[in-house]
Amino acid sequence: MGITKTNLYTKEHNEQAELFKAIGHPARLKIVIHLLREKSCICGDIVDVVKLAQPTITRHLKVLKDAKVIKGSIEGNKVCYCINAESFRALKGIISLMEVEALGINGGCC
């Protein structure tokens, strides 16, 4: 696999790409949708919802947390997770920009 030359892009582009990459896996997308629907911190039922092994869920949660899609807090011996609203504002901004640009194409390509 080739080397990604992230230094060729702005910090903003790299951060946005990390957000999209983090939610670009079906299991992580399912976790995010579950957290969005619950509208609160979730501590233990993610395994039941996603139907994957606990170590696999933990790895997916780490990817989401590292990309700042979710936040985690420790309560006793449990780690609870919730959505990081700032990241979704960033995603909404880039998607809105893409939508505006795509609507300006008028079907004139390809």
Residue at 98 is within a domain:
yes
Residue 74 within a domain? yes
Q: pLDDT tens digit string along 51-88?
A: 899 889 989 999 999 999 999 887 777 788 999 999 98
Query: Is residue 3 domain-resident?
Result: no
For residue 64, give its domain range.
Answer: 10-103
Evaluate whether residue 15 is within a structural domain.
yes
Assess if residue 49 is contained within a domain. yes
State what percent of residues in the chain have pLDDT above 90. 34
One-letter amino acid of 78: K
Assign residue 70 a region: left if phi > 0, alpha if psi is -120 to 50, beta otherwise? beta
Between residues 30 and 109, which one has the greater pLDDT?
30
Predicted TM-score (pTM) of the model is 0.80
The phi-psi region of residue 42 (left if phi > 0; otherwise alpha if psi is between -120 and 50; otherwise beta) is beta
Cα 62 from Cα 92, distance rounded (Å):
22
What local confidence, expressed as pLDDT, does residue 90 receive? 87
Which of the pair, 18 or 108, is modelled with greater confidence? 18
C-alpha radius of gyration, the chain, whole number: 17
User: Residue 84 is part of a domain; what is its CATH number?
Assistant: 1.10.10.10
Beta bridge partners of 71: 82
Residue 96 in tokens:
């809105």
Q: How confident is the model at residue 110 (pLDDT cuts 50, 70, 90)?
A: low
Domain count, the chain: 1
Whether residue 1 lies inside any domain: the answer is no
In the predicted model, what is the mean pLDDT of the chain? 85
Phi-psi domain of 17 (left: phi exceeds 0; alpha: psi -120 through 50; beta: other): alpha
- pLDDT reported for residue 59: 92
Can you spell out the DSSP letters for 61-95? HHHHHHTTSEEEEEETTEEEEEE-HHHHHHHHHHH
2: pLDDT confidence band, cut at 50, 70 and 90? Answer: low
Residue 92 within a domain: yes
